[in-house]
């Protein structure tokens, strides 16, 4: 926030603002992202949460997308509520899952959001809509080392020498 007595600096652009087009959106998928910033914020309803900025490096993006995000793509995760005390079990559980996704030890009674800086996680990105525009948004966060789930509709492969069990009722 700029203080009342501080003048705002003038921004010089390299091209006319009218000529700037919206970059391509990041397609839905799973990307490795790194925490770039964490701020404590308050929602319109008065709930405290952590506003977390993730950066997806260009090498995680398709070439035609990466060229528009030379420093990486930035997405926000604003779903980690600051628990309202020990009775806020949902808030505490969600905080635990987030801490674990960052690869930190959840066996603690002290949380320092500064420890989140530079940590990596797998970001599940979907296409969403905001103010009438389609945009990429984080829908879920998993541990960076998360194992890939088996494809839907297909059972996991059986260990060698054992047949896969059939699903559903026997005939």
Q: What is the pLDDT of residues 109-156, one digit of tens each?
A: 999 999 999 999 999 999 998 898 889 999 999 999 855 444 444 344
40 located within any domain = yes
What was the pLDDT predicted at 163? 46
78 located within any domain = yes
What was the pLDDT predicted at 154? 38
153 located within any domain = no
| CATH number for the domain that contains residue 35 | 2.40.50
Alpha-helical segments (H) within the chain:
63-66, 89-101
What was the pLDDT predicted at 129? 86
Number of domains in the chain: 1
60 located within any domain = yes
Q: What is the pLDDT of residues 71-91, one digit of tens each?
A: 999 999 999 999 999 999 999
75 located within any domain = yes
Confidence of residue 6 (pLDDT cuts 50, 70, 90): confident
User: Which structural domain range is residue 115 located in?
Assistant: 23-143
CA proximity to 123, closest of 96, 100, 151, 143: 143
DSSP string, 110-150: ---GGGGTT-EEEEEEEEEEETTEEEEEEEEEEETTPPPPP
* Percent of the chain scoring above 90 in pLDDT: 71
Contact assessment for residue 144 and residue 103, using Cβ atoms and an 8 Å cutoff: yes
17 located within any domain = no
Q: Is the pLDDT of residue 157 over 90?
A: no
What was the pLDDT predicted at 33? 97
44 located within any domain = yes
162 located within any domain = no
Confidence of residue 22 (pLDDT cuts 50, 70, 90): confident
pTM given for the model? 0.75
What was the pLDDT predicted at 98? 97
């Amino acid at each position: 926030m700029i203080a009342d007595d501080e003048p705002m600096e003038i921004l010089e652009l390299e091209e006319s603002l009218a000529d700037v087009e919206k970059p391509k959106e990041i397609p839905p998928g799973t990307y490795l992202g790194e925490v770039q910033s964490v701020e404590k914020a308050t929602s319109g309803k008065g709930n405290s949460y952590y506003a977390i900025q993730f950066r997806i490096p260009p090498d995680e993006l398709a070439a035609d997308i990466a060229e528009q995000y030379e420093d990486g793509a930035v997405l926000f995760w604003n779903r980690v509520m600051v628990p309202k005390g020990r009775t806020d079990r949902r808030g505490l559980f969600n905080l635990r899952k987030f801490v674990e996704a960052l690869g930190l030890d959840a066996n603690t009674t002290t949380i320092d959001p500064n420890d989140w800086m530079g940590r990596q996680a797998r970001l599940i990105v979907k296409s969403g809509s905001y103010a009438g525009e389609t945009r990429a948004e984080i829908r879920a966060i998993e541990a960076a080392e998360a194992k890939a789930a088996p494809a839907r509709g297909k059972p996991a492969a059986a260990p060698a020498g054992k047949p896969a069990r059939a699903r559903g009722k026997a005939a």
